[in-house]
Amino acid sequence: MRSRLANCLPTWAPLVRSLGLARPQRRSRLLFGGLLSGLALACTLSGVGLSGLGCDNKTKPIIIKGPVVQPVADVRWNTMRAVHHVHIDYPRGDGRGQLTVRGLVAVERPDRFRLQAYGPGNITLFDLIKVGGDIKVVQGMPGSEGQLEQKILLSIGADLAAAFDLEPRLPSRQKILGLKEGELRIVETERTIRAQQFKEIQGQSVPTHVIIDNTALGYSVTIDVESASLDERLDPALFRLK
């Protein structure tokens, strides 16, 4: 499974190695792939297959199995590495745009994460780093479309920071635990996040389905967790702001 998956993903060694998706390479042949040149470009993308299923764009995500458990309000792990199946619905001209990508995410509490989103053909769509109060798009495209793209990507970075309850916390952040509904709702001035379908991962209750509604920019993000592991050491190089 690992060797086949390695053929599906760019060989950016620190992130891929830290996520346990490929064996370490002596030399990294590619630091960063081509970045998203505009949200419209990615509307045709549907992600790269995982778990030994190859690179078929029609492959459905394999969501973490197991019974749903009680949601919790507080994060109790220190690090997470995960594979996400992500769908984004965003404003595009007079209508709406849609894109689906596969994301590799590494999170280290209390204040940092790294996210790389991939499409078919080993294409890196975008790459985000958050450290402390800084969120950075590792590489962006110039021009008016690039400015819009970066604005949305930076906002998605802030969405994820709230979803993972990372520092610094905005004064407006509230966490509302709905045991009856089986979800944790995280509310900030510009966004509402609904963490649902909590499942047991290494003895901890972790959401595997997350819905983000960003009212400031009018987009929504749906995340399904395909695989995750907790409290493993992450390479510090993942979080170096370039």
CB atoms within 10 A of CB 216: 12
Q: What is the pLDDT of residues 65-90, one digit of tens each?
A: 889 999 999 999 999 999 999 999 99
Q: Is it true that the peptide bond before 168 is cis, omega within 30 degrees of 0?
A: yes
Distance CA 170, CA 156 (A): 15
Q: What is the pLDDT of residues 119-162, one digit of tens each?
A: 777 688 889 999 999 999 985 434 445 555 788 999 999 999 99
CA atoms within 13 A on the CB side of 90: 22
**Domain range annotation of the chain:** 2-239
Per-residue pLDDT of the chain (242 residues; tens, 9 = 90+): 333 333 334 334 455 554 444 433 332 222 222 223 332 333 333 333 222 223 333 445 567 888 999 999 999 999 999 999 999 999 888 888 888 889 999 999 999 999 999 877 768 888 999 999 999 998 543 444 555 578 899 999 999 999 999 999 999 999 999 999 999 999 999 999 999 999 999 999 999 999 999 999 999 999 999 999 999 999 999 999 86
Is the domain 2-239 a CATH 2.50.20.10 member? yes
